[in-house]
Amino acid sequence: MATAKTDASAAKSPARAPRPTAAEHLALVEAAQAGDRRAFARLYRSHGRLVHGVLLSRLPRAELRDAMQEVFTVALTKLGELREPGSFAAWLAAIARNYARDWFKRHANRSEIAHEPQAVEGAAGSPDIELGGAGGQQRLADALSLLGAMGELSEDYREILVLRFVEGFSGPEIAAALDMTPGSVRVKLHRGVSRLRDRLSAEPASGGCHE
């Protein structure tokens, strides 16, 4: 039971910190590049949910705590290499994706490290979504967890859906953070939710996966 509790704690999203304005954000990145650790600490707080969401869409939940620390350690080490301070969020998300990719290379037998089909902690603010059928409404966070375990969604769809419905980002915030157009985000959200709805409609009414 202790392990399950630890895993749930690791999956919980970081507290939402006030978002700095674009000018404040740029100043923080530039200050951090100049060696200001307080500025980097503020960047950590304001971007923790972004990194958590990117990792949550890819890694087993038990790995999230260590992965978060490692991603920000790499970011601090390589911050001087960032050419465009305004692209810090997209750069940070890329580091998180690369970490997840390398993690799977180190753990080659993916069949042994599938995501656990449990509800995602820290998603209390996630909106319900009408999924239709006998099941009525179901938390999207729960559905995402199940689909993550079964590999029904590609990583890019999972990433955007987790950021939107688990981490609470708006569409424009996702677009800015991932260096995408708002239109592309809307399309991926629509397609991802549609695929999610189709998959859940195919589940037995009793729920659960017994394979």
Give residue-wise pLDDT tens across range 26-45: 999 999 999 999 999 999 99
Average pLDDT of the chain is 77
Can you give the pLDDT at residue 22? 86
CATH number at residue 71: 1.10.1740.10
Residues 18, 90, 63, 137: what is their CA dihedral angle, to the nearest 10 degrees? 70
Count of structural domains within the chain: 2
One domain, residues 165 and 71? no
Check residue 128 and give its pLDDT: 41
Query: Do residues 140 and 70 both lie within one domain?
Result: no
Rounded Cα distance between 19 and 25, Å, is 8
One domain for residues 26 and 97: yes
Q: What is the mean pLDDT of residues 171-176?
A: 94
DSSP symbol at 2: H
> Above pLDDT 90, what percent of the chain?
47
- DSSP per position, 133-166: STT-EEEHHHHHHHHHHHT-S-HHHHHHHIIIII
pLDDT of residue 125: 37
| Helix H or strand E segment including 4 | helix 2-11
Coil, strand or helix: which one is 82? coil
Q: What is the pLDDT of residues 130-168, one digit of tens each?
A: 434 334 344 555 655 555 544 578 888 889 988 998 888
* pLDDT band, residue 209 (cuts 50/70/90): very low
Indicate whether 68 and 31 sit together in one domain: yes
- The predicted pLDDT at position 68 comes to 96
Confidence of residue 122 (pLDDT cuts 50, 70, 90): very low
For position 152, what pLDDT does the model report?
72
210 domain residue, yes or no: no
Question: Is the same domain home to 81 and 131?
Answer: no
Give tens-digit pLDDT for 185-201.
Answer: 999 999 988 887 777 67
Please answer whether residues 156 and 100 qualify as being in contact, where contact means their C-beta atoms are separated by less than 8 angstroms: no
Instruction: Mark which of 108, 138, 167 sits at the end of a domain.
Output: 108
Torsion, CA 82, CA 85, CA 90, CA 91, rounded to 10? 10
Q: What does pTM read for this prediction?
A: 0.74
DSSP 19-79: PPPHHHHHHHHHHHHTT-HHHHHHHHHHHHHHHHHHHHTTS-GGGHHHHHHHHHHHHHHHG
pLDDT one-digit tens code per residue, 71-90: 999 999 999 999 999 999 99
Please tell me which residue, 10 or 106, carries the higher pLDDT value. Answer: 106
Does residue 182 carry a pLDDT above 50? yes
Q: How large is the average pLDDT for residues 200-206?
A: 59
- Write out the residue range of the structural domain in which residue 88 sits: 1-108
